[in-house]
Amino acid sequence: AGNASGINDGSAAVLLANEASLKKYKLEPLAKICSMAVAGVDPAIMGIGPVPATQKALQRAGLKINDLDVIELNEAFASQSIACIRDLKMDAQKVNVNGGAIAIGHPLGCSGARIATTLLHEMKRQKAHWGLATLCVGVGQGAAMIFENVSK
């Protein structure tokens, strides 16, 4: 369908490190994970899973939706993204600024890493402070992760 993401091949890598490893290996981080959350919803409305997950992640980070500078939503379907944007009252101009999964593709198995790397590089490009990455999962889950830009 024209309003659903295609299944594509792809790869992405995310390197997580603690402060000691950053120093030991002389690594320069792009961002720091500030909070994350997962939530369950009725599988019949799985696309809305990012909504409660984002609400929990924002609460844990002590942030509001308007504090976010860049947002990467897992765009499984156009209607799913629109529902999340509306329910969370997101500024649509901050969401999937390079296109979502409908434009970029949905590489199953690495969508989370693809979304995170797209978000982190866009945060660096914009010199944005806060970013949000979300996922909806077909069995009724949602996940959200909030990043703080610490790149130089």
Residues 107-150 have pLDDT tens digits of 777 888 999 999 999 999 999 999 999 998 888 899 999 999 99
The DSSP string of 31-48 is EEEEEEEEEE--GGGGGG
Convert the pLDDT of each residue in 60-84 to its tens digit: 999 999 999 999 998 888 888 999 9
CA–CA dist 136, 80 (Å, integer): 9
| Maximal C-alpha separation, the chain | 49
The pLDDT of residue 2: 64
The CATH number of 19-149 is 3.40.47.10
The pTM is what? 0.92
Question: Percent of the chain beyond pLDDT 90?
Answer: 68
Which tokens hold the place of 1?
A: 């369908």
Q: Residue 7 pLDDT > 80, yes or no? A: no
Single out the residue of 136, 94, 82, 89 nearest to residue 119, CA to CA: 94
Measured between alpha carbons, how far apart are the two ends of the chain, in Å?
41
